[in-house]
Chain A
């Protein structure tokens, strides 16, 4: 390995420290118009009527766009993964989250754009809002998504992500104790230091040059091309320089709208979100509701796990079904549990749609799984490190979705932690390895889940 452990240059290091890195907001194109958005003030409302003419007629305003200007209004960003489109680029006849963009204005300066936005006449009919995923399943809950309150397009049109392994009833019948826990991590705002910013230049050839802060240049290019219904060669994306993203700059939240404004006005346009917009309107890491019930023996074997996850997708699907799927594959954490009953729902609420953030879908379940291990140790009165080593993944063990582990690192990692915190392990734990289970580490109930690493 030539790179791991070596000191190598950051290709952008010198540029960063000399102020020469060009972020989107640093791009200077003469004649650029400023963009401001009309955003929903309500969590949930119907749009009764809207008149943008007062804005269009204002001096200094060069273009106003609404849903009517978008060639393909709804495009599922992950339709290639089977997640259908459900989110209009600009609101059509309803708004489902506070901050949802409804119309955009491009004007000669920020002040004019903001004033034009305030002149757009719009009437709403407020509707009850759903903000708690647990209430989404009540028969009297507000219905906020056209397909109901949770995603229904997993494989075979199932309405939840389901994992079944082994015999959960056997596990619960043979448990000495059932240990339960509920885990509810909150939404997290990425808060990159650079807010969402986009600059678009309409070229005389009809091509659009788009300066983007996206983390996913080709992905965003595909999204814009789809909404605009143009071939990819009509777009030139300039990017790769992001002032922090952490998963929040994949949603392609500004590029398509700026492209439409550039086309309509014939002028370069720039949209720079304020910090307030970034906090209130940009997507976040999802809040989760997780319930775990483990069937355990008195000496610390986890025979089986029942788990229910409610993933709060916010108002639209975006990438949530994908995040929940990853979550489901990892719901046993670094440990081998042979009998599983997992059900996970992508639930809609009247909140800003949630998105990826470092470790998408998995950080939540890791937090829950680890906390639950400690809870089990506490309930049983066993050592929290020993219980982890006992149930740790080994070569030949299988994951919730049937993947055979060929070289899992749980054992060595936990042993290293124990040493680092001065916890002296008993001999049998000190000498443990990740070699395939045998002897006292292969109780009857773990036999059926073994797989063959050779065949993996």
Chain B
């Protein structure tokens, strides 16, 4: 006895690749295929009929999970659960801990979070800011084959690519300052991640100040000037209204979060 919510996806071709190569081949150039990492974002999209895929690519068995370290270089497989990041140093650890709740983090994937498209009520991609601050690169498949590129370049085209893994150099110091969420289910309204690389370079990035995570180069240039850095950050963003917060509120709070992140960055580990 099937009911409608079951009937909805009967027409979808379901692919379950058992390796990275098989996943890359199944993804092809990404047209007409819905990628399912943990399912925490796309399953409700199907339940509420906002997405009706012709083909769905289930990645659970493709062997894309796991965290590996090569010296100071960390590589995180795309289907690694977000929960795996909760204990790592800032900004990534606290950023991950601030996502959803334990049950959702245990199912949601890093790749799914990085590649999330705009929601109909709020942008998604809570981890984008943290990885931007870490200067991460993303290895992905799609049209033109497999390539590795900085996250900044990947993000505008993330919906056309199949993320395979994300890598970064461990920073000398990191920090994360985000708004408390009213409900565990809420996406990030606004958060700032900061990291200082081994060579002293400071990177700043924001999540929730645009349709995806964004670097704050003007704030980075003013990082030594606590009076100016907050306002400088506003030059890099166009805050928006959405279900979580207004543009006005984001404009008021972004400078505060930038200052907090930088203050935390200076604290001894």
Task: Establish whether A and B are touching in the complex (CB under 8 Å).
Answer: yes
Q: Point out residues on A near B: beta carbons under 8 Å.
A: 30, 34, 109-114, 274, 276
Looking at chain B's contact residues, the main secondary structure is loop
A30 to chain B: closest residue by CB:
B1
- A-B contacts, 25 of them at CB < 8 A, read A30-B1, A34-B3, A34-B4, A109-B2, A109-B3, A109-B4, A109-B6, A109-B7, A110-B3, A110-B4, A110-B5, A110-B7, A110-B8, A111-B4, A111-B5, A111-B7, A111-B8, A111-B49, A112-B4, A112-B7, A113-B4, A114-B4, A114-B49, A274-B48, A276-B48
B186 to chain A, nearest CB (A): 14
- For A276, what are the chain B residues with a Cβ–Cβ distance below 8 Å? 48
A109-B3, A110-B7 known; 14 new pairs, CB 8 Å cut-off, are A34-B3, A34-B4, A109-B4, A109-B6, A109-B7, A110-B5, A110-B8, A111-B4, A111-B5, A111-B7, A111-B49, A114-B4, A114-B49, A276-B48
- For A113, what are the chain B residues with a Cβ–Cβ distance below 8 Å? 4
Closest 10 A/B residue pairs (Cβ): A110-B4, A109-B4, A111-B4, A111-B7, A109-B7, A111-B8, A109-B3, A34-B4, A110-B5, A110-B3
A34 to chain B: closest residue by CB:
B4
A28 to chain B: closest residue by CB:
B1
Once the chains are docked, how many angstroms separate the CA of A146 from the CA of B134? 62
Contact with A along B1-45 (1 / 0, CB 8 A): 111111110000000000000000000000000000000000000
Once the chains are docked, how many angstroms separate the CA of A111 from the CA of B5? 7
- For B2, what are the chain A residues with a Cβ–Cβ distance below 8 Å? 109
Once the chains are docked, how many angstroms separate the CA of A110 from the CA of B47? 10
Q: Point out residues on B near A: beta carbons under 8 Å.
A: 1-8, 48-49
B111 to chain A, nearest CB (A): 27
- For B3, what are the chain A residues with a Cβ–Cβ distance below 8 Å? 34, 109-110
Once the chains are docked, how many angstroms separate the CA of A178 from the CA of B259? 46
A12 to chain B, nearest CB (A): 26
- For B8, what are the chain A residues with a Cβ–Cβ distance below 8 Å? 110-111
Once the chains are docked, how many angstroms separate the CA of A72 from the CA of B96? 56
Once the chains are docked, how many angstroms separate the CA of A112 from the CA of B3? 10
Once the chains are docked, how many angstroms separate the CA of A30 from the CA of B1? 9
- For A114, what are the chain B residues with a Cβ–Cβ distance below 8 Å? 4, 49
Once the chains are docked, how many angstroms separate the CA of A274 from the CA of B2? 19
B1 to chain A: closest residue by CB:
A30
A276 to chain B: closest residue by CB:
B48
B8 to chain A: closest residue by CB:
A111
A274 to chain B: closest residue by CB:
B48
B52 to chain A: closest residue by CB:
A111
Once the chains are docked, how many angstroms separate the CA of A34 from the CA of B5? 11
- For B6, what are the chain A residues with a Cβ–Cβ distance below 8 Å? 109
Once the chains are docked, how many angstroms separate the CA of A30 from the CA of B3? 11
Once the chains are docked, how many angstroms separate the CA of A276 from the CA of B47? 12
B6 to chain A: closest residue by CB:
A109
Which of A34, A110, A112, A114: most chain B Cβ within 10 A?
A110
B147 to chain A, nearest CB (A): 39
Once the chains are docked, how many angstroms separate the CA of A274 from the CA of B44? 12
- For A111, what are the chain B residues with a Cβ–Cβ distance below 8 Å? 4-5, 7-8, 49
A278 to chain B, nearest CB (A): 13
- For A112, what are the chain B residues with a Cβ–Cβ distance below 8 Å? 4, 7
A265 to chain B, nearest CB (A): 16
- For B49, what are the chain A residues with a Cβ–Cβ distance below 8 Å? 111, 114
- For B4, what are the chain A residues with a Cβ–Cβ distance below 8 Å? 34, 109-114
Once the chains are docked, how many angstroms separate the CA of A110 from the CA of B49? 11
Once the chains are docked, how many angstroms separate the CA of A113 from the CA of B5? 11
- For A110, what are the chain B residues with a Cβ–Cβ distance below 8 Å? 3-5, 7-8
A112 to chain B: closest residue by CB:
B4
B224 to chain A, nearest CB (A): 44
A199 to chain B, nearest CB (A): 13
A30 to chain B, nearest CB (A): 8
A372 to chain B, nearest CB (A): 29
B10 to chain A: closest residue by CB:
A111
Once the chains are docked, how many angstroms separate the CA of A366 from the CA of B155? 52
Which of B4, B7, B8, B48: most chain A Cβ within 10 A?
B4
